[in-house]
Structure 1
């Protein structure tokens, strides 16, 4: 599961990022709006614009390095 990894990233970068989790079963319009076809899908937004997407369960190091590119 990726949830613990996302929680760790959220804690470690709490001063720099805001983490929002959306359940696409409960919010299908979000899945449609953002073209989400696979779960989990993690998206990075800057000033309201999507700048990167990570699809699938990835190691914490991969998620952190992807995030670091945008900080």
Structure 2
């Protein structure tokens, strides 16, 4: 299955990478000095762009699309 080219902002990419590394929302908020609400917003935005059903699906599609390594 080929993943269409999707543009994520640099911050969305960063958050998806941290999700793939197993970090929680509160951990990412601390690491990136953002609120948990902002972290959730970046994840939700990336999920919409990928049309992902859930966060694990987002991570799989991001790997498949070579958005993250």
TM norm structure 2: 0.29
Q: Which has the higher contact order (CA 8 A, sep 6+)?
A: 2
Higher strand share: 1
Higher helix residue share: 2
